[in-house]
Each structure stands twice: as structure tokens, then as C-alpha cells.
């Protein structure tokens, strides 16, 4: 149990990094989608 701080910090850093990456990716995707004309958006 001596290493619990290291383990929790590692999990926190890993999950935090994944969360930041997801946030940045979605924000960038929304910015780029604004520049695409509606007829070129097959998901609509």
C-alpha cells in the first residue's frame, strides 16, 4: 500500500490526458464543421 499515491496519480494523469484530448478534438471538429457547406455534410 506504499505505492497507492503513485498509482492514483498515474490514473489521474492518464484519464485527464484522455479527457483533454477528447475535448480538444471535439472542439476542433466543431470549428471545422462550420466551414463545410451543408450539402457536403452527409451526416445531416
41 in Cβ contact with 33 (< 8 Å): yes
Position 9 in a domain: yes
On whether residue 19 sits in a domain, the answer given is yes
pLDDT at 9: 97
What pLDDT shows up at residue 43?
76
Q: What is the pLDDT along the chain (44 residues), one digit of tens a residue?
A: 789 999 999 999 999 999 999 999 999 999 999 999 988 888 76
- The residue segments making up the domain with residue 13 are 4-34
pLDDT score at 27:
98
2's grid cell: 506504499
- What is the spatial distance between Cα 38 and Cα 18, in angstroms, rounded to a whole number? 31
CA 36/CA 18 separation, integer angstroms: 27
Whether the CB-CB separation of 44 and 38 falls below 8 Å is answered with yes
Task: Count how many domains the chain has.
Answer: 1
- What distance in Å separates the CA atoms of residue 25 and residue 20, rounded to the nearest whole number? 8
41 assigned to some structural domain:
no
Amino acid at each position: 500500500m506504499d505505492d497507492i499515491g503513485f498509482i492514483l496519480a498515474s490514473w489521474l494523469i492518464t484519464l485527464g490526458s484522455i479527457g483533454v484530448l477528447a475535448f480538444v478534438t471535439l472542439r476542433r471538429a466543431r470549428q471545422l464543421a462550420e466551414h463545410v457547406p451543408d450539402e457536403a455534410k452527409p451526416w445531416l
